[in-house]
Structure 1
Amino acid sequence: MTRVLDYFSTLVADDDSLPLTEAALALAQDAYPDLDLQGTLAELDALILRLQQRLPREASIKQKVALLNQFFFRELGFSSNLNDYYDPDNSYLNRVLKRRRGIPVSLAVLYLEMAGQIGIPVRGVSFPGHFLLRVMTPAGDVMLDPTTGHSLSESEMIEMLEPYVAKAGEPVGRALRLLLQPATRREIVARMLRNLKTTYLQTERWQRLLAVQQRLVILLPDSIEEVRDRGFAYARLNYLRPALEDLEHYLGDCPDAGDATLIETQLQELRQRAQHNDHE
């Protein structure tokens, strides 16, 4: 486990050189410890080579996008896994590549890799509830749905956004402009991990959840909330000493946090359990 996390730490150490596809694929090492990472990247490279060989020499951005959409969605058959949206395999790129099924953010990572290799200027967008792609064309930016390749109109995006903005009481048009900013590669990997976090919390798979939390703490070193949540995962697995360390660290940094009383109660219980274990 330490070796896998050391490798991930190296990949995500620096924003400028963070290799998105490799870092996203590395997440699958938790569920698939025998994963041939370089072999999987080579499979993806082989698909990209097939695409490059079809590309007309002077193709415009618009032509390239049309060619990639034809290849990615129709020929290869990538699409959203609507039958089992919360299957963790939808977030593991080795499985997404094999099954041609994923969720918006995992499909977007593969699309971004292919698009980048054929010279399409495209960025990911961390839109609420549905990750999007933003293609920069001479005629203006186009927003694409990474599950279909469909280009989204402003009214479609406003409709998608309404359930999220209605709660906050913000004007939808203003919120839309703010939410269409490109995501960094670190933010994209964090979104993938948080999807897995939600899945493993709901299914109470604590060992898998801990693996995800370990990565989130590495990826987002300034997020003390992820340290707290790793402490909760440790506690669920009865790893009392590391649980105490993480939760004490959180309270030390955020003594006035909204959940400080709850954390203090949890700490008292963990200390009692640890003392009891020491005396056995």
Structure 2
Amino acid sequence: MENQLLWHNFYQEINQPDEQIDLAKASLYYAQVEYPDLDVQKYLNVLDAIASEIKPQLPAKLYPLKVIQTINYHLFDCLKFQGNSQDYYNPDNSFLNRVIELKTGIPITLSVVYLAIAKRLDFPMVGIGMPGHFLIRPQFENAGIFVDAFNRGEILFKQDCQAKLNQIYQQAKLDPSLLIPVSNKHILARMLNNLKFIYLRQQNLDKALAIISGILNLFPENALEIRDRGLLYYQMNRWHEAVVDLEYFLKIFPDSKDAPTIKMLLEKMI
């Protein structure tokens, strides 16, 4: 029950049409699970203030490259936001309040800061869910440019995205679908998924379980998250809950390659 209460504000924010979801606000709401005393409005005010500082610097004609260069100068040169390459897997890199406070983060959280600023400047931008490295781009037809918020707002073209992908996955081919804008819900799920894997690496099962709750708020029928929650329940000896999740997983994904292992676990518990 307590966990459900912690996620209440987050659920309220995401339970509306995707284009109406305030990405920064939703990100701060999920951070309240880790930081229950977090004042969401305080951090939204900081984003408002940053945008207000940038607005007078914008050129009279809002050419995309000029706007991006102006945002970049203020965020990365003046305010000193930067990618946290030294401590990439620190959970704080995934909490927007800490990213705003410390002015450091990972590609997706720095992108959310950037998107929030751009939105306040009436300069529409969208998230690009490229594997291994989240990017953003202006929301204009045939804009042709992408922005890497992790690398000081580096401006990329399509061939640069291919090179970026090659750095992460050797010989990977950049399918055009990888550069299609993703929804706000998908951005939030990816942020939470990062946290989930950090907590699993740390063997912090309670926190990983809480994060899966957030992902399932976004996508209730996500079979793999239902499976993972069931496996966590199993590890935590919460067998009744594990059985419910793992049986449901088999019902909605009977042909999964994990099915034989899941069936063995269920035989042990039932």
Fold match (TM-score > 0.5): yes
1:200 matched residue in structure 2: 199
Does the C-alpha gap of structure 1 residues 188 and 138 become closer, same or farther in structure 2, counting only changes over 3 Å? closer
Q: Residue 100 of structure 1 is aligned with which of 96, 103, 112?
A: 103
Report if the CA contact (8 A) 1:62-1:137 is conserved: no
Q: Deviations over 1:176-213 (max 9, x none)?
A: x2211111111110110111111111111101100111
Rg larger in structure: 1
2:250 matched residue in structure 1: 251
* Structure 1 residues 203-242: aligned runs within 5 Å: 203-242=202-241
* Structure 1 residues 57-96: aligned runs within 5 Å: 57-96=60-99
Matches of 2:67 and 2:112, distance apart in 1: 17
Q: Which runs of 5 or more residues in structure 2 are unaligned?
A: none
Report if the CA contact (8 A) 1:144-1:150 is conserved: yes
Range with greater deviation from structure 2 (259-268 or 11-20): 11-20
Q: Deviations over 1:85-125 (max 9, x none)?
A: 00010000000000001000000001001011112231110
User: SS of the counterpart of 1:222?
Assistant: coil
- Letter in structure 1 aligned against 2:264: T
Does the C-alpha gap of structure 1 residues 16 and 156 become closer, same or farther in structure 2, counting only changes over 3 Å? closer
Report if the CA contact (8 A) 1:124-1:182 is conserved: yes
Matches of 2:253 and 2:125, distance apart in 1: 38
- Letter in structure 1 aligned against 2:267: Q
Deviation at 1:52, TM superposition (A): 2.3
- Letter in structure 2 aligned against 1:66: Q
User: SS of the counterpart of 1:141?
Assistant: coil
1:275 matched residue in structure 2: none
Range with greater deviation from structure 2 (98-107 or 29-38): 29-38
Report if the CA contact (8 A) 1:91-1:196 is conserved: yes
State how many pairs are aligned. Answer: 265
Give yes or no for the alignment of 1:180 onto 2:179. Answer: yes
Does the C-alpha gap of structure 1 residues 138 and 184 become closer, same or farther in structure 2, counting only changes over 3 Å? closer
Give yes or no for the alignment of 1:54 onto 2:57. Answer: yes
Q: Deviations over 1:54-73 (max 9, x none)?
A: 33554433322221111111
Give yes or no for the alignment of 1:10 onto 2:15. Answer: no
Matches of 1:269 and 1:7, distance apart in 2: 38
User: SS of the counterpart of 1:127?
Assistant: coil
Range with greater deviation from structure 2 (49-58 or 183-192): 49-58
- Letter in structure 1 aligned against 2:63: S
Q: Among the aligned pairs, what percent are the same residue?
A: 34
User: SS of the counterpart of 1:241?
Assistant: helix
Matches of 1:59 and 1:153, distance apart in 2: 20
2:164 matched residue in structure 1: 160
* Structure 1 residues 13-32: aligned runs within 5 Å: 13-14=15-16, 15-32=18-35
Q: TM-score under structure 2 normalisation?
A: 0.91
User: SS of the counterpart of 2:130?
Assistant: coil
Q: TM-score under structure 1 normalisation?
A: 0.88
